[in-house]
Structure formats: structure tokens, C-alpha cells
Structure 1
């Protein structure tokens, strides 16, 4: 699959890997990024609610391959580009609730880093929201685990121990010059311990992109509402299953004039 682009030599690429936080805030990102990054801007996003970095996952009736198995990687390999590139790795802690070990998660992240380095872009990795994990009540953890990961039987203390260890390992990865570690701020979270507050999403994306060297701006005018959270709910990625049936769609699937395209994987 090859994506055509005008003025490619002047474009900028933003590659985002993540799960539900990115899926829920994608519209906010598409309002923040063009104000901070050169245009035309091409966004490549391997994301999705409940997404795993290395294993297939399901959310309601929709299934997605692990990020490492997505079509993002052959697309990037097959497409020669001189575009300046920025990369974001986030929602890494999602795999903890799939009972994945810290070593396994770090191995998946390292594989992503190796592939992203082929783009010669800078990489930002967000940490684990440790303040939420440390203060999370048992009843709330059980409720979220049952709702989001119904097959999981993980205990809260196990998740706490692994979250602490995972955050340390992510910081160690970011000791390399081309990787920036971004701690999760406690006030980005509220009652929901795993998703960024709706009102904080413009700040989150501004913080991440600014850490990658992109120009700051007054993001207070960027809207973030429930409508923005669900706007791309039905936007189809390159490949998925729905009710057990495989669906494919040519990318990019989102176009905003000639200056912004979004390919979903």
C-alpha cells in the first residue's frame, strides 16, 4: 500500500502508537498538531481502544492486530520519504491489564523503537500514570478491570508492582539521545484512572509535541468535548475484524484539505 502525497519533500510526518487515550483524543490531536508542526502534515496512527503493542485485541465486536503486526510498518518501509518525522509511543501500560510481563512489554516497545528509528525521527515515550496507580482504590480497579478487560483476573498489587517497574524501564529506554521521556502529570487524570481528562487533552498533546521540539502556542482555544471523543469511532483503519469478519480500507482515511491526512492502522 503506497500513499501519494503532494510536496512530499516539504511535508512532516507524525507517527503515533497507542491505545484508547489516542483514539479518544484523536480529533484534539488533529487540532493541536497542525498549529505546532510544519504543513503539509501526514499523520500515521496505529491506535485503537484496548490496543495491545504485541497481541491481537478485541473491544466490543471489533478486533485489531497488535501494533507490531499492523500494516503501518510495511507502509513506512515501502515509502521512501525525505519528510521530517516525529514519533510518539504512548498507552504502554495498557498491556499490563492483559497480564503481560514487564519484560515482554519492554521487548515490544524496543521493537517499535528499532522500526521508528528507520524514519530518522525523534521519539517521545510517555510514562505510566503512577500517581493514579498508587492511589487507586481496590473497588475502582475491579470495576475498571471488569468493564475494560473482563477476562482479566489480575490483582491490584500486581499491577502496581509492574507499573512501577515498567515506568523505570521506559525511563531507561529514554536515556538514548533520540528519545524523550514524558512523565504523566497527576492532574491529567480524574475519576477514570487510565484515560486523560477530556479537558486536559489539548494540554497533553501540546506537552508531547512541544517536548519533541515543536513550537508552542496558546492551546486554550482548542476544544475538547464528548463529540470529539466519538467523532472517529466509525473511521475504519487499514485492517480490522468486525463481528469476526475482516474489513480493509485504503489509507489515508481522513483528509483535511491538502494540508492534513491521517492514515489509521
Structure 2
């Protein structure tokens, strides 16, 4: 890592699964346009990632977000203005975790965000698009993304509704911002944001942060350079072919000096 870059101005905590993984640099770029940079960035994400249970995608395994090393590292980190996103909820259901356990894992993560983040936003399950899935489409995408899952469409929707309503009650009780996603942004599978709508999706998500003050100046050409990878982040812990692989954090760096931890 380059020690001569400016010190971080803030910290971002980004929690999610496939959507966030596919749009990580975009999400960081939009957050820095709003909150400034360079930033210290903590991520827990990955295709198929879950909050309360270990996930397996092809030959790669990852711990549940609630059990990953991000939280221990945050306890040791210096204090910065911190902005967080918790998104891509729902994979736990297709891995067979009961709604009550899903909500317990989410509530634990939200409690940690309330401890560490100045401002954060949570996205709820996209129930409108999930409920619009036909039986044929549901089975098709379930077999592709969750080949070990045997939950029926009706059972999956029933469990998703419990988590959706549980998060609404949790948001009222714990007083955090819960954002409902627009179904028009989501593709045929009901859960992944359309490629050409990713920027609008994350801009709308960041509009939920009610933070006073002027946005930092952003020059388009300069930002494109600053948001290129000098070093791509690697997972702090994963399993591959059943073999444990560790990587010291932070493991990634952007051209503006922002350092990225990936758990």
C-alpha cells in the first residue's frame, strides 16, 4: 500500500451480496461524490453471500456476514465519520435458514452498524418483484443460483414476507432507515439490479442519507482515474476446494489512496 496518500476523510462499511459485488466501484464512487474521499472501506460481500449462514458459490466458501472478521477489525479501528449500506438481503432464505434466524443475524449486524456508523441505510427485500415471479421462472433461477435448495415458490415467498415484515418492525423499534427498492430496477430473476440501472439504483439508495452540508466537488475525468484499482481486494478468509485461504487486510487500494478491506 502507498503510504504517501492523504489520510482517509471517512469510512464506508458496505455489506451485501451479488448486486454490491458487481457494483462495488460504482457504489464507492457515488459515496465519495457525496461524502468525500479518500476513504477507509470495509466490505463484506460476494456472490451468493448470506448474513447468518456460510455460503458456497461453486468451489468458494465464505462465512456469514454476521460471523466474519470485519466486526472485530472495526472494534480496533480509528474513529472516522462512517457511512454504511446493508443490502442484498435474502440469500439466507434459499440456503434454508428459518426467517427468525435470518432476522437475528440481521439485527446483530444492524446493532453493530449503530455502534460504528454515523449514518447507515438498510434495503428491504424486493417483495413486489419476488412475488411477481412465475413458478417456471422461480424454479429456473432457483436451480441456477441455489442448486441445493428445494423450497417451493410459495414457501420461499412466505418466508421472505416474514423477513420483510420483521425488518419493518425492527426499523421502527431500532430507528434506522429502511429503504424499499423499486421493482422496475430488478431483472427477470427478481433480485438482481439491471445492468443499465445500477447507477440510478445506488443514487436513489444514497439519497436516503439525510446528511447536511455541501457535496464535495467531483470532476468526472479525475474521478474515473481515482476510482481505478491499484490493487484489487482479496477475501480475508475463504475456502477453496475445502482449503482455507487467508489474506491480510487491507488488501485493496484505489488510485486516490482509498484502502479496501474485504471480509
TM-score, structure 2 as length reference: 0.86
Count of paired positions: 248
Structure 1 segments, 4+ long, off by >4 Å, are 4-8, 214-217
Q: 1:114 aligns with which of 106, 111, 115?
A: 111
Calculate the aligned-residue CA RMSD, in Å. Answer: 2.5
Superposition deviation, residue 120 in structure 1: 4.3
Task: Note if 1:134 corresponds to 2:135.
Answer: no
Q: Counterpart of 1:26?
A: 24
Range moving further from structure 2, 206-215 or 102-111? 206-215
In structure 2, the partner of 1:152 is 149
The corresponding residue for 1:226 is none
The change in CA–CA distance for 1:120 and 1:196 in structure 2 (over 3 A counts) is: closer
- Give 1:106 deviation, angstroms: 0.7
1:195 to partner: Cα distance: 0.7
> Larger RCO: Structure 1 or Structure 2 (Cα < 8 Å, ≥ 6 residues apart)?
1
Q: Is the 1:136–1:193 contact (alpha carbons within 8 Å) kept by the matching residues of 2?
A: yes
1:59 to 19, 43, 57: 57
- Report the counterpart of residue 226 of structure 2 in structure 1: none
Counterpart CA distance in 2 for 1:50 and 1:7 is 35
1:58-95 residue CA offsets vs partner (Å, 9 max, x unmatched): 101111011111110110011231x1111211111121
Q: Which runs of 5+ in 2 are unaligned?
A: 222-228
| Alpha-carbon distance between aligned partners in 2 of 1:20 and 1:240, rounded to the nearest angstrom | 16
Alignment of 1:1-265 (within 5 A): 11-81=9-79, 83-176=80-173, 178-213=175-210, 235-265=233-263
Q: 1:40 to 1:27 in 2, by over 3 A?
A: closer
